[in-house]
Amino acid sequence: MGTSTETEAFAQRLRRALESNGVRVSPTVVSNDFNLRYWGRSITSHTARNWLLGKAIPTQDKLRVLADWLQVSPDELRFGRVTSPQSSPDPDQSLSALGMADREMLTRYLALGLSERKTVRDVVMALSLAASVKKSG
């Protein structure tokens, strides 16, 4: 489904995304957690192993589920960092637009371990969902 280099690069991105979300890089864990989120035909541990070892790349529908689960864009997971001069703001410019308290919060966030970062992301996601429900209701 892609060249050896493409599949290996995908596997590296997948492993990084799993680790940054506090998910153990294990074919069994990946297949079980993936199957909880995917409404199509479930995958086997062997399939997840092939993804993790860079032997295969998931189909687009599975890639979307992985990306949603791991909180990355499907394009970034599949192809790597996608940068477009028109759509990507300069990260330094974006940071300078933040207030001092927000910059301090981001500095502290980046100093946390992977599992603590996941907890913070989960809390922010829950607060964001609660705020959107409150606005619409």
Q: Determine if the pTM surpasses 0.75.
A: no
Considering the domain architecture, whether residues 59 and 105 belong to the same structural domain is answered as: no
Domain count, the chain: 2
What's the pLDDT at 108? 84
CA proximity to 73, closest of 24, 25, 13 = 13
Contact present, 77 and 67 (Cβ < 8 Å) = yes
Considering the domain architecture, whether residues 30 and 56 belong to the same structural domain is answered as: yes
pLDDT digits (tens, 9 = 90+) for 39-80: 999 999 999 999 999 999 999 999 999 999 998 889 999 998
In this model, does residue 94 exceed pLDDT 90?
no
Q: Rounded distance, CA 62 to CA 109, Å?
A: 30
Q: Work out the percent of the chain whose per-residue pLDDT is above 90.
A: 47
Q: Which residue segment(s) compose the domain that 67 sits in?
A: 4-79
Answer whether residue 85 is part of any domain: no
Answer whether residue 73 is part of any domain: yes
Answer whether residue 84 is part of any domain: no
CA proximity to 80, closest of 9, 8, 4, 2 = 9
